[in-house]
Structure 1
Amino acid sequence: MKLPRIDIDIGKIAHNIQQLKKLYGSKGIQITGVTKVIGGNPLIASILVKKDIKILADSRIENIVKMRKAGVQAKYLLLRTPALSQVEEVVIYTDISLNSELIVLKELSKYAIRNQIIHKVVLMVELGDLREGIMPLEINNTVKEVLLLKGLSLIGIGSNLACFGGIGPDASKMSKLSSIAIHLEKKFKIKLTIISGGNSANYHWFKSSKNVGRINNLRLGESIFLGREALCRKPIPKLFTDIFTLVVEVIESKIKPSKPYGKVFQNANGKIKKFKKKGLMNRAILAIGGQDVDVSGITPRQNIDILGGSSDHIVIDNTKLNLKVGDTVEFDLNYSALLRVLNSSYITKNTINFNECKSVLQSS
């Protein structure tokens, strides 16, 4: 099979979904499956749907179109707040969108009316991470305006934490979101069906909370596909953390100096690197680079050390293993690395363990 490739264990994905639904469902929280990391892969998306994930969320319209055309039957949510330039596509291809700008909501209304569609919206509330979101003091005015827009249905509010600013979704933040939901329902005499508290970073809040308040939805990607929470990147009990294996080929293996020689300037990544002088070293080059993977986000399963990389190459210390040209190296990936790999057209996607997947699906 063509290299480099990423092996994807479908059976382990099905298992993780089953366990997460059971975990969060114990306190009345439903899961929205985030598909951006898998590039909208229809086969993987269909596993989420078969495991009774009702809503699939993606930040790219192109991925949503891909899944729709492949016949994946789900409600689709646009994860990134819409750009003005794409509002008609949002209305046509998605069922729900997360929003924070009134000017965009007005355009969504215009195109929803034009296409005779009722488009559902969730308003994002700023709780401190300082990415998208309406400031709490402004939420009343925004809701008042949205309720007047034809073609739109306000179905909920949400928050995003632990992304841009790394601010954790603690009890105080979630209580604030619950209070805002209760306030809006009472003030405007409406019913909000989705109160989306966040993402895979909400695990510790969930585990430590006896009462989750009005929070009834989380948008999960990292927990499903990497089996861990997104605050400290610790594994979640009973989940697989080795679903994905990056397999890369050795294309050069030679004895060379450990330190580059000559006048030093910036390297291909715009950095001036420092190297320790260790004498001659067995060095190998792998056929993958920064164009396809976040090199800082991969961990070798074999006994090698990554020395660095450029756009198309990774250089490793090959002293301990003495790998030859044509040998392969396997890596685990963090979320950033996985996102780039699965969205690269140059890496073969190889799905495995269909039979195991079927047994997991049948047991649910």
Structure 2
Amino acid sequence: MIAREFAAKLLDWQRQHGRHDLPWQVSDPYRIWLSEIMLQQTQVSSVLVYYTRFIEHFPDVAALAQASVDEVVTLWSGLGYYSRARNLHKAAIMVCDEFNGAFPESTEALIRLPGVGRSTAAAIAAFAFSRRNAILDGNVKRVLARVFGISGWPGEKKIENTMWQLAENLLPSAAEDMPGYTQGIMDLGATVCTRGKPACGRCPMRDDCIAHQNGRTGELPTARPKKAIPTRYATLIMAVHKGQILLERRPPTGIWGGLLSLPELGTAHNAEDWLGKAGDGDILPAWPEIEHVFTHFRLIITPLPLDLSALHPQTRDSNACWLPLHDAANAGVPAPVKRMLERLAATSGKLTSHL
């Protein structure tokens, strides 16, 4: 199949069957940029609620730039990959300071923004400014691997370079077709050429698709080489005092960067030492372990309840705060911590391990 046939089929399919009612399908570069950052490694269904909430709080790039990073990270809580939220804030400031509040139109300039890579920059430029640059996200890699029979893990540099070249060659010649083409190849991968059980009968490329013709849709794209996922362990302290619970701000980098969370018991400390510095009270039996899986490792959390009868001044530093139990889960905390706090609030602060 030659490039112009691929583009023509995709454009025709997108007009009839593609998605046309997403809230970020507008001409505003700010809203397009925001959606593209949120959609990195995240499905549309998960992004919709967060996107609407962000637009309500930060209707334009100036409002986002003027907010504190804590406000942004808190609003992002639950969407994961929190470095995206910090980069979002940095990029908004950069747009206001270096580009006078207007998003640059070229992919070269867009890539300068924190959190914007080659594919994201191309998507923003295509949707907002009809620029002819290819995107290569996970959905596009899957479509290209199957339609053109490309073997090899797409994360390997050689295979990725081959896909980039192919993606560039397939672009429509007319710039005005770029928004529809870019949306179409995204939609085709997300709704038809899916990872499991692709709907080949509805695919406009089925007559030319090598994977479909040869019964290889289950093996293409080639899976990432298997690698053992390491396990990490953490003890999180649920320190309760008079109906309130102690939360601490996480460091800006690392997992859950910048979020409020339950204090973590360091490897060099034990619960008695922590309690001695925090106040007087009782260490109760630990709750059952909780498993939380990240991209590159799994985390086993041990929730350790402490019932404090009195506080020491050290527990009132600038990095910590006491919140009512019924408010804590909504304070912008990581997903597993949110579930722990909701469970605790539902039991009116009872800290026994058998709940």
Q: Which has the higher contact order (CA 8 A, sep 6+)?
A: 1
Q: Place the TM-score, normalised by the shorter chain, in its bin.
A: under 0.3
Structure showing the higher helix proportion among its residues: 2
TM-score where L is the length of structure 1: 0.21
Flag the structure with larger Rg.
2
TM-score where L is the length of structure 2: 0.22
Structure showing the higher strand proportion among its residues: 1
